[in-house]
Structure 1
Amino acid sequence: MFVTSAVCVLVFLYVTSVACRADREPECSRFHYEEQLLEKMVRMEFNMERLQQRLDSVSEVVAKLEGIRKQLTGKI
C-alpha cells in the first residue's frame, strides 16, 4: 500500500511538472534568435539595395527631363 501511494505521488508530481512546462512560453535558444536576426538583416539589406536601384533610376529620369526642359526653354 505504501509503495502504491509513493508511486501515485511520484506520477502526480511528474505530471504536474510537465504541465507547468507546457504552460510556459517556448524558450528560444540564443542561436535561434541570432539566426532570425541575421535573416532579418539580410532581407533589410536586399530591400535597401532594391530601393537604391529605384532611386538611381528615378534620378536618371529626372536628369533627362531636366535636360529636355532646358532644351525647350532655351529654344523659346
Structure 2
Amino acid sequence: MFVASTVCFLVFMYVASVACRADREPECSRFHYEEQLLEKMVRMEFNVERIQQRLDSVSESCAKLDGK
C-alpha cells in the first residue's frame, strides 16, 4: 500500500511539473528578438527595392507611351 501511494504521489508530482512548464510562455532572449527584427527589416528592404524597380519600369513604359 505504501509503495502504491508513493508511486501515485510521484506520478502526480511529475504531471504537475510538466503542466507547470507547459503553462509558461516560451523564454526569448533579447538577442533572439533583435535577430528576428533584423531579419524582418532585411526582407522589407529587399521588397521595397523590388517594388521600386517595378515602379521605375512602369514609369518608363508610361513615358514611352506618352512620347508616341
Q: Which runs of 5+ in 2 are unaligned?
A: 1-5
Q: TM-score normalised to the size of structure 1?
A: 0.65
- The CA deviation string for residues 13-36 of structure 1, in whole angstroms up to 9 with x for no partner, is xx4455423321101110110000
1:1-76 matches, cutoff 5 A? 12=13, 15=14, 16-17=16-17, 19-68=19-68
Displacement after TM superposition at 1:67 (Å): 0.1
Q: Structure 1 stretches (4+) deviating beyond 6 angstroms?
A: none
For residues 34 and 42 of structure 2, the distance between their equivalents in structure 1, rounded to whole angstroms, comes to: 12
Q: TM-score normalised to the size of structure 2?
A: 0.72
**Number of aligned positions between the proteins:** 60
Q: Secondary structure at the match of 1:27?
A: coil
For residues 25 and 65 of structure 2, the distance between their equivalents in structure 1, rounded to whole angstroms, comes to: 57
